[in-house]
Copies of this chain bind each other. A is one copy, B any other.
C-alpha cells in the first residue's frame, strides 16, 4: 500500500486533502462501471480525485505523468462502451465538482460551462434564456458535457443539429503533462492553424482531459409536429425521406424507422395500444421543429397528406397535442423499458452505413444470424436518415458467445465500409473490433497522434487504441 499512500499524500499536498479521497468499497463501486460495462476485476484505484478547477486537473496530471501513473477520467459514467471504467492501477479523475455554468451570451448564442456540468442543466439554462440546446439523450439527468464531448454524443436530433462535435465552439483541455490548452473561444469562425478542439472531441479522454466547453445555442423552437407513418417497404421509406427533406428542409428533426418486431415489442409488448395497427411492414416516426406554429402544422399535414395520396404512406397518425406527441415517442424510446419484456437481456448494436444501404445491411445481418444461430431473435430500428441502424439480439436462455455474434455483425458492417460504432464509442468494449472500421494506416496515424500527445500513455489506458 506504499504506492497508494504516496499517491494520496503527494496529490493532497498539491491540490488539497479535500480533493483527494482514498478508495473504499463504496466509492470504488461507484467509480468502477458504466451503463454498459461492469467493473473490471483487474482494476486497482489508487486514489480518487475530485478537482474543483483546471489548475487542479493540471497538477494531478503532471504528478501522475511524472510517475507514469495511469489516470482514469470520468464524467457521469452513463457510457455504454466502458470509456470511463478503470482497467488497472490508476488515479480516478472525476469532473463532477466542476459544474459551474460560467456565462450565457445571448447575442453570440453561446453557453460557457465547466466540463462537469450535467447535460440537462445546459438544456434548462438555455431554455430560461429563450434559447435551445439540442443535444439530448436518455442519460440527460446525469451525463456530463465533458463526457458528451469525449464520446461525441449523438441522440435523437443529429439529423438537424449534428453530433456533439457540431455544437462546440470552444474547448479547454489538459494534456497528459499538465499543459492547459485554452481554446475557449466564443467565435464560430477561426481559421488560424490546426483545429485542436477536434483532437479532444470523440477521443474518449485518451489525448487530454476536457475541462471547459463553449457550446452553441439555437433559437427555441415555437412548434413541434410529430407523427407516425406506416409504409409498405424500404423503397417507400426512401421516398418518404426524399419528400420530407424537400418539404420540411431544415425543419426535419427526426426520421426514426421501426421494423414490425420492434414496433410490436414497443407497444403491445409493454401492454400499450399501438398508435397505428400492427401488421404493417415498416413504421416511421417523423418530427419537425419550426418557428411558425400555424404554418408548420399545416405544412406537416400537407407533406404527410401528399405522401398518403401518392400511396407512399399507407396509414398515418399525427399528434394533436404535446401529450400525444410524447405517446408517439414512447414507442421509439421503448428500449429503455425492455427489461420488463421477454426481449432481455439483449446484445445491442449501433452501426452505420449510407442511408440507402440500411435495408440490405439489415437483410444481410438477419440472414447470417438466422443461418448460424436460428434460436436468436433480433429486432431492428434506427435513425435511418443518419444512416444509423440499431439491432438488438435477444440473448435470454441461449449460450451463443457474444464475441461470435459481434464478429459476425461487425464483419458485415466492415465489408460495407460502415461504422461499428455510430454513436456509443469504442471504450474497452469494442476495442478489439476497431480494425473492422479503421484501416491499418488510420490506426497507425491514431497511434502516432497518441504517442505525440501522451508519450507515457497515462491517459485512459486500454481504451480506444
State which of B190, B194, B248 has its C-beta within 8 Å of the C-beta of A437: B190
State which of B248, B292, B387, B448 has its C-beta within 8 Å of the C-beta of A291: B248
Closest approach, in angstroms, between the C-beta of A74 and any C-beta of chain B?
A: 18
Contact indicator A109/B355 (Cβ below 8 Å): yes
State which of B196, B241, B426 has its C-beta within 8 Å of the C-beta of A446: B196
Whole-angstrom distance between the alpha carbons of A441 and B182 in the complex?
A: 8
A107 proximal to B (CB < 8 A): yes
Whole-angstrom distance between the alpha carbons of A421 and B195 in the complex?
A: 13
Q: Which residues of B contact A248 (CB under 8 A)?
A: 291
Smallest CB gap from A419: residue in B: B190
Interface string of A246-258 (1 = CB under 8 A from B): 1111110000000
State which of B289, B422, B441, B449 has its C-beta within 8 Å of the C-beta of A180: B441
State which of B110, B166, B218, B354 has its C-beta within 8 Å of the C-beta of A107: B354
Whole-angstrom distance between the alpha carbons of A151 and B193 in the complex?
A: 9
Q: Which residues of B contact A291 (CB under 8 A)?
A: 246-249, 251, 299
A425 proximal to B (CB < 8 A): yes
Interface string of A181-196 (1 = CB under 8 A from B): 1111111111111111
Assuming A189-B386, A245-B109, A419-B185, is B453 touching A448 (CB within 8 A)?
A: yes
Smallest CB gap from A192: residue in B: B437
Contact indicator A165/B195 (Cβ below 8 Å): yes
A432 proximal to B (CB < 8 A): no
Contact indicator B448/A192 (Cβ below 8 Å): no
Contact indicator B444/A241 (Cβ below 8 Å): no
**Of A17-25, A92-100, A201-209, A310-318, which binds chain B?**
A201-209
Whole-angstrom distance between the alpha carbons of A80 and B187 in the complex?
A: 21
Contact indicator B194/A446 (Cβ below 8 Å): yes
A62 proximal to B (CB < 8 A): no
A295 proximal to B (CB < 8 A): yes
Whole-angstrom distance between the alpha carbons of A38 and B202 in the complex?
A: 40
Whole-angstrom distance between the alpha carbons of A437 and B151 in the complex?
A: 28
Contact indicator A182/B251 (Cβ below 8 Å): no
A452 proximal to B (CB < 8 A): yes
Q: Which residues of B contact A202 (CB under 8 A)?
A: 191, 193-195
A276 proximal to B (CB < 8 A): no
**Of A136-144, A152-160, A362-370, which binds chain B?**
A152-160
Contact indicator B191/A424 (Cβ below 8 Å): yes
Q: Which residues of B contact A47 (CB under 8 A)?
A: none
Contact indicator B201/A195 (Cβ below 8 Å): yes
Q: Which residues of B contact A465 (CB under 8 A)?
A: 193
Contact indicator B188/A386 (Cβ below 8 Å): yes
Interface string of A236-248 (1 = CB under 8 A from B): 0010011001111
Smallest CB gap from A431: residue in B: B193
Q: Which residues of B contact A352 (CB under 8 A)?
A: 187-190
Contact indicator B238/A107 (Cβ below 8 Å): yes
Contact indicator B419/A192 (Cβ below 8 Å): yes
A451 proximal to B (CB < 8 A): yes
Closest approach, in angstroms, between the C-beta of A158 and any C-beta of chain B?
A: 7
Q: Which residues of B contact A105 (CB under 8 A)?
A: 354, 356
Whole-angstrom distance between the alpha carbons of A154 and B191 in the complex?
A: 9
Assuming A195-B202, A451-B452, is B387 touching A444 (CB within 8 A)?
A: no
A388 proximal to B (CB < 8 A): yes
A442 proximal to B (CB < 8 A): yes
20 A-B contact pairs sorted by A residue (CB < 8 Å)? A105-B356, A154-B189, A179-B444, A181-B439, A182-B442, A186-B387, A189-B352, A189-B419, A191-B202, A192-B421, A192-B434, A192-B437, A193-B434, A193-B443, A193-B446, A194-B446, A199-B449, A249-B251, A251-B291, A295-B298
Q: Which are the 9 A-B pairs with shortest beta-carbon distances? A: A107-B356, A250-B250, A198-B198, A189-B422, A452-B452, A190-B419, A108-B354, A295-B295, A249-B291
Kindly list 16 other residue pairs between chains A and B, CB separation below 8 angstroms, not including A107-B356, A162-B166, A185-B419.
A107-B242, A108-B356, A165-B195, A182-B441, A183-B442, A184-B417, A189-B422, A191-B423, A191-B425, A192-B426, A193-B202, A193-B426, A195-B198, A249-B251, A249-B291, A291-B299
